[in-house]
Amino acid sequence: MKEIVTEGEAEQLRRDAMRWRELQALMQASYDGDDTSGPDNLAVYARMVFGRGDFRRVEVTLGFDDTRDEPLDLGSVLDARVAARR
């Protein structure tokens, strides 16, 4: 049977999933008013900008240090957060 994804692709998917879970947890913690500070310079601010009944619109702002004139590298910042939790 032919593999659907390679081992390298599977590892990338695993890292992406861990990053997404970390980002989701940080957004929820910020929205709940919890401290989201960590060993890096990642700042997460989440707030409700509108709500009516069961509906709400949430705005999230991310701030992080990065290298100038290079592609944004939020992945490395999230990787450091994931590693710090272990």
What does the pLDDT look like over 34-67, one tens digit per residue?
Answer: 988 877 789 999 999 999 999 999 999 999 988 8
Q: Say if 49 falls within a structural domain.
A: yes
The answer to whether 54 touches 77, Cβ cutoff 8 Å, is no
Q: Say if 2 falls within a structural domain.
A: no
Kindly tell me the sign of the dihedral angle through the C-alpha atoms of 13, 43, 24, 55: negative
> Per-residue pLDDT for 12 more than 90?
yes
| Helix locations, the chain, DSSP H | 7-31, 74-85
d(CA 7, CA 85): 25
Higher-confidence position of 33 and 84: 33
Contacts of 9 (CB under 8 A, 6+ apart): none
Q: Say if 61 falls within a structural domain.
A: yes
What does the pLDDT look like over 14-40, one tens digit per residue?
Answer: 999 999 999 999 999 999 999 888 777
Q: Say if 67 falls within a structural domain.
A: yes
Q: Say if 1 falls within a structural domain.
A: no
Higher-confidence position of 64 and 85: 64
Domain membership of residue 14 as a residue range: 7-85
Q: Say if 15 falls within a structural domain.
A: yes
Global confidence as pTM:
0.83
Q: Say if 37 falls within a structural domain.
A: yes
The answer to whether 84 touches 43, Cβ cutoff 8 Å, is no
